Structure 1
Amino acid sequence: MKYLILIHSNPQPWGHPTFDFTEEGRATPVAERERMNKEFEEMLTELSEAGELISGQALGPAADAKIYRLKGGRRIATDGPYAEAKEHLAGFFLLDVASQERAEAIAERFTSPGDTIELRPLM
């Protein structure tokens, strides 16, 4: 079963890992952030070695995004993402796991200060 973990964040300024740039992340003591980074890297290694992590990427700044729509029979490109959104898609990880329960357990481990984690099954 394939699942996509989407990381939504509102870092100012933009950077990776996102929690180093969020208000909540910056309020986390340095030693705690270092521990979290170490645990995250260990988790990625574990998932890779188990064959459950297919891919993952941090995305570029949302200010560089473009939105494409069809309006009145014309294709229109605008700057994105939506201006009213505070959070934007910051990155993703593609998993291939045995069950929804396993995907949920992994997604929970991705949670970090200031980010919102979304888990979606692939069709």
Structure 2
Amino acid sequence: MKTFTKVNKDLGLKETSDWGIINSDENRVEEFILYYFENSVEKSTEMEFINLVFSSMNEALISKKNTIDIDRLFYKFISKIEKNEINLMIINLWASYKSTDTDPFPVTELINKAMVYKK
């Protein structure tokens, strides 16, 4: 199992508070998701990873850097997340964000679609 420190080293990320938000990158969505699929990470790191991927995907959607393949990979990522209590709280939090002109959250729509199909 990969530790938080090992994940940071592997991906060249900063070890900081608000890790998923600070390290989000609209250009690395695919890389982050594939890393998650290819590596077993500790439970505490998994919840941070959800924030990292959701925040990165949100940025990609805002800047229109997502593709159909990235969208599909994102849906697959959501389906692969272990649906334990903490992870579901994070997913539901992101799914509840209201998008505004000053604070857009287009990722919310994708998360909600993925969760509807999952049910």
Q: TM-score, normalising length from structure 1?
A: 0.29
- Kindly indicate whether structure 1 or structure 2 has the higher relative contact order, using CA contacts under 8 Å at least 6 residues apart: 1
- Report which of the two structures shows the higher radius of gyration computed on alpha carbons: 1
Higher helix share: 2
Higher strand share: 1
Q: TM-score, normalising length from structure 2?
A: 0.29
